[in-house]
Amino acid sequence: MNQDDLLLTGATVVGASGATRADVSVRDGRVSAVLPPGTLTRAREVLDLRGRFLLPGLIDSHVHFRQPGLSHKEDWQHGSRAAVAGGVTTVIDMPNTDPPANSPRRLWAKHRLIDGTSLVDYRFHAGVDPRNIDGIKEIGPREAASIKVFLSGHHTAPDVVTDPAALERLFRIAGEQDRTLIFHSEHEEIFALLDVWRGAPRTFRDYETLRPRSAGIVATLNLIELARRSDTAAHVLHVSSREEADLLAAAACSGIPVTFEVTGHHLTFTNDDMDRLGNRIRLRPAIRDDADRERLWEAVTEGQAATIGSDHSPHTAEEKNRPMPGAPPGLPGVQELFATVFTGLTERLPEMDPGPRLSAVVRLMSAGPAALFGLADRKGEIAPGRDADIVVVDPVRRHVLTNGGVFAKCGWSAYEGRPFTGGIDLTLRRGSPVYRWTPQEHVFGKPTGIWL
């Protein structure tokens, strides 16, 4: 029997359905065995991780790493450092770059630009050219995990599908090709009507009122009906309101092929935080009220949401500090995602042991996105034959994010000064250490992430 490369002992292994004490061995970048403690004794390297929990590498299926064309905001070198520091080992990047990633040629060019710079493994979501809806026929599963559709636009998302006939055609083509559609689900014409009536938002306090929930509700209800008629899978991103969560949960319960994502920032902030944070939490969709936030947490704890994503959308400090309406929506979040979600679960379920809380994290941030986006054969679970993407978590370590600890290229975070519970001690990607925390320093590995 060949000697394993690495043996992780003494820890609790967490899956989507529970947690158990086990030893994990790694060989040639994959998990070779998961066995009761003490069963395995030999390896080239042995790590005693008593008191720690092992999670499958997190998958952030909603990031904007900004290359090509917008690398003054973010790039893969910095974005992937932020990711692994947050326990994320795989990302799926959005298409609204410059030029947009909406053809096989552009998707391959994007890979060539990234290759050799990423600490994480990666896939892409492809975009839609609203002037050439049939162009998505050329994009296969090798190039893209899904087709991203913007129903409303903003500073970095100019390609918007507003024509009802074009949207129906998208569903028909995706259904014929068995492709998943994912959506920024806000109705652009509602915003246009409000702007004619009251003018575009001029202050941060006015922003939520003039970019209201009604746009998301109308767009999402329309998507549910299109998914029902076409039997085509639709995944709604960054759901922000209780009404949308109710509609999507009810539709899924009735057998309509719809799923939805919530984000760390919609689980954390409310519109009341705009007075304190202003442009830092100007988002699309907007931050809503406390009742909306609590309904999204209910979707997390009751298993209604399919995924949690960061919507990591950095802008430079100069851009975010512009007066309304020039300040673009978006914030960095991939580094903060695990800490945000686990801290929120700890605050809401203080009587629960860390294992079940971490199982919810795995369900929504590892197993869920792996299943939804075609990665479950190698990602999303610590099991023999799967990639050895493993995150070592200290569930009781308290820490505060400081400005100097932000690894995104923009160098700022809306979460600065916020206390977190649960720290990432070590991140392995395919068996290789890509991040290690010590009280003295953060140590990063080699940028050998691959296009999956």
Percent of the chain with pLDDT over 90: 87
**Residues whose CB falls within 8 Å of the CB of residue 319, separated by 6 or more in sequence, listed in order:** 73, 327, 328
The answer, yes or no, to whether residue 343 has pLDDT greater than 90, is: yes
pLDDT band at 383; cut points 50, 70, 90: very high
157 pLDDT above the threshold of 80:
no
Q: What is the pLDDT of residue 389?
A: 98
pLDDT band at 345 (very low <50, low <70, confident <90, very high): very high
Q: Which of 227, 117, 100 is nearest to 153 (CA)?
A: 100
Phi, psi of 327 (to 5 degrees): -70, 120
Whether 1 shows a pLDDT value over 60: the answer reads: no
Q: What pLDDT, in 10s, does the model give residues 299-332?
A: 999 999 999 999 999 999 999 999 877 889 999 9
Does pLDDT of 294 surpass 90? Answer: yes
pLDDT digits (tens, 9 = 90+) for 22-75: 999 999 999 999 999 988 778 999 999 999 999 999 999 999 999 999 999 999
DSSP 8-state code for residue 435: E
Contact (Cβ atoms closer than 8 angstroms) between residue 50 and residue 299: no
| E-assigned strand segments in 279-359 | 307-309
pLDDT in tens, 394-451: 999 999 999 889 999 999 999 999 999 999 999 999 999 999 999 999 999 999 999 9
Given CA atoms 281, 286, 289, 293 in this order, what sign does their dihedral have? negative
Are 102 and 135 in contact, with CB atoms under 8 Å apart? yes
> Does residue 342 surpass a pLDDT of 50?
yes
Share of the chain above pLDDT 70, in %: 98
pLDDT confidence tier of residue 2, bands split at 50, 70 and 90: low
DSSP string, 338-401: HHHHHHHHHHH-TTS-HHHHHHHHHIIIIIHHHHHTT-TTTSSS--TTSB--EEEEEEEEEEE-
Nearest to 277 by CA among 237, 327, 239, 311: 327
Residue 153, pLDDT > 80, answer no
pLDDT at 91 over 60: yes
User: Does residue 160 carry a pLDDT above 60?
Assistant: yes
Q: Which residue has the tokens 């053809």?
A: 103
Return mean pLDDT, the chain.
95
178-207: average pLDDT: 85
The CA distance from 81 to 89, in Å, is: 10
Per-residue DSSP letter, 154: B
Cα end-to-end distance, the chain, whole Å: 30
Give the residue among 155, 139, 191 at the shortest CA–CA distance from 283. 155
Distance CA 134, CA 230 (A): 17
pLDDT reported for residue 34:
96
| Residue-by-residue DSSP string for 61-95 | EEE---TTT-TTT--HHHHHHHHHHTTEEEEEE-S
Q: What one-character-per-residue DSSP string does 11-58 give? A: PEEEETTEEEE-EEEEETTEEEEEESTTS---EEEEEE-TT-EEEEPE
Give the model confidence (pLDDT) of 211-266 as tens digits: 889 999 999 999 999 999 999 999 999 999 999 999 999 999 999 999 999 999 99
**3-state secondary structure at position 166:** helix
